[in-house]
Structure 1
Amino acid sequence: MILRLHSPFIIHNSQLRLPGSKSETNRLLLLQALYPEISLQNISDADDVLAMRNALQSVSDTIDIGHAGTAMRFLTAYFAIQENRTVTLMGSPRMHERPIGILVDALRQLGARIDYLGAEGFPPLRITGTKLTGSKVTLRADVSSQFLSALLLIAPKLENGLELQLDGEITSRPYLEMTLSLLRKIGVETSFNSQTITVKRTVSVAHCALSVESDWSSASYYYSIVALSEIGTEITLSTFKENSFQGDRALVEIYKDFGVETVFNAGKITIRKAHNSPLSIVHYPLNNVPDLAQTIAVTCLGLGIGCELSGLHTLKIKETDRLLALKNEFEKLGATVVISEDCLTMRPAAIHSNIAIETYHDHRMALAFAPLALKVPIVIQSAEVVSKSYPKFWNDLRRIGFSIAEM
């Protein structure tokens, strides 16, 4: 599906209910599979979540999770402890290029039986479930937080719990805090002291009903829309918590630099364009929130502000190499971009109109570039890719005033 977007303004005081957090939902689905006493509300309807749910409910000995990276990491750990069951876990061609060796090595240290069916260190995997008696493992702290969370989620079911020692500077700490918070909510005892995380064995939990908070990553695109709009523009979004454990809540502070204010009220946030930004360039270390990089960079381009973003080494192993994808598309739009293994530097220029944005099978490329239609008409290739995390995105944009036509 190819869409052409244009929007000279958005409807003032728009209101939307955003989907549940994909990150929270997938963590809770795995915990629910381990502890059926848990019931869930407001779960995400994203493709990644559907892949996770289908895999957890499947009795097949072959599980194909497509492009769902979170599911690949979490399910590798989950099936490793499913005794007397052998599963082949596979995905899309791109998924088979995304490294998983760090997680597999850690699980093997705990006693897991996992074999590579293709290239060493990459899916597909043959996982023979067994009782894991190991209880201590050390991992580099700068690896994907999903590797660490995968271990933490199965930790309460391990024979002796888990002591996870982190070596070096921690990347994406908020996602680890989210995982530990959800474990505590269901009654699991955890601690996070300096570089050591401990999770106690928990045989069963009390019956509990948990509601998934809406997705701050999805909210980021509306922060970008408000930042690119006229002063006084407001959008109200639900359902969000002021004390959220989602790392992307950092939007609230970051977007103050772009003139956007946030008000929390009764489970909703109202985001308002209060003033125009006086800045000519911004510098952000995004180690803890790398998924915001595309949104922030597009906002800067739309406002004519330069940006220097660092802490982005994990973006090269996402659905695509996001740093290279951003460089390619920004240069088509007229900007100057320099990337390294960890950083992106962008210098804006007059934005070219009617440029076709390639999404590279990456939902965040489509989602992040859409707000730019407030400045110039743009075309989004393979626009259906948003279903990976936010299936109703294009409908919601129409509701707030965007003109969107299928080509």
Structure 2
Amino acid sequence: MEEHPDLEAVEFLLVDPNGVMRGKWAPADALKKAFREGVNFPLSLHGLDVWGREVSETGLHIESGDKDGYCRATRGTLAIVPWAKRKTAQVLLQTFTPEGEPFLADPRQVLKKKVAEIQAKGFFPVVAFELEFYLLDPETDWDDGMPAPVGAMAGPDRLRMYGLDDLAEHADLFDMIRDAAHAQKLPIDTIIKEAAPGQFEVNLKHRADPLKAADDVILLRRIVMGCARAHGMTATFMAKPFLEYAGNGMHVHASVLDADGRNIFGGSEGRPVLESAVAGLLRTMPESLLLFINTWNGFRRITPGSYAPTRAVWAENNRSVALRIPVSNDANRRVEHRIAGADANPYLVMSAIIQGMIEGIENKDVPPPPIEGNAYADEGLYLPDDMDEALQLMEKGRFADRALGPLLSKVYKDLKRAEIMAFWAEITPLERTTYL
């Protein structure tokens, strides 16, 4: 506040189990209270479905008195909002109980606890996220009210993968995104034109702090959407906004260091450790899939030939698999986890990946042989292709309890069941046209 004496407002940001940003606006002088004591929010914020509706089965709403918790500001996340019309700051909050304990239905608190647990064992993950998104023209109508991707109206075959012209056409927007990321201390790396009209990817640099890396994802999505709005466009991280085009993924690159800072996947001695991590991820993948694909729409992205994996298989340097070992030197040897949709909750994604890798390493699991060629034609384990099957697998197993802890595991399953029931309660226009 000394650096910004003209600060007028602050936006308090909280992330719910679906990865949806929630919060409130306050005058600038509320910042001091947020750091010292915390600001009040209902604990039930973490019991909302993807539409923001209360799910009573979570036990967090009126049946428990809809209690408040203390939500304290997270150090290192306070930053200026460059696209705001008046001088505004933002800060991520994390939730504590009225008694001052971390509230373990808060995804950020859960990942913080998970990271502390594995670091106490001598494992130090290094991770990086890649996020795909579409830029949309809100003045157009592509399909049933959905705006068209920018450039698509010039021809639906205007894919221009890796095209530099599309980046140049939106240079002012991407400059604003980079400037905002710099102001908020987000380590943006490359920006790429992706496989569909108006589709782009932003890559973040590797961090030795998985919690901060997940924060980066949340803040980057907000930056992209805010900057797009400032340029008269809409940005969407919806996993599959267009059936005819590629979906939006969230790829995660992960390696593990030892206490001396050496990559335990590197060299000939590290190869068995890498394969054990892969085996742990493959073994836990079916019952953790709903953490990576957290919406009904997200399962539309998982289709053969789409570069979104349909089988729990792995390979070297192969983009058709769920787990890819990229080309790299020993110091940078890592696993690329390619399943999650761009709308997934990065704290839950990270918790599941860390838990799966460490279980595999500790158990010295051995994976099946890596595949060659097209993974969609392989005989590997099929992943669930609908939300209900994925939830049933999660409920039958115990991996979610180990990855998230019992409270958030229960809350998350309750939320997903309520969302499934909401879709089942809808009769689609296509169904009606069958009879009318």
TM over 0.5: no
- TM-score under structure 1 length normalisation: 0.29
TM-score of the aligned structures, taking structure 2 as reference length: 0.27
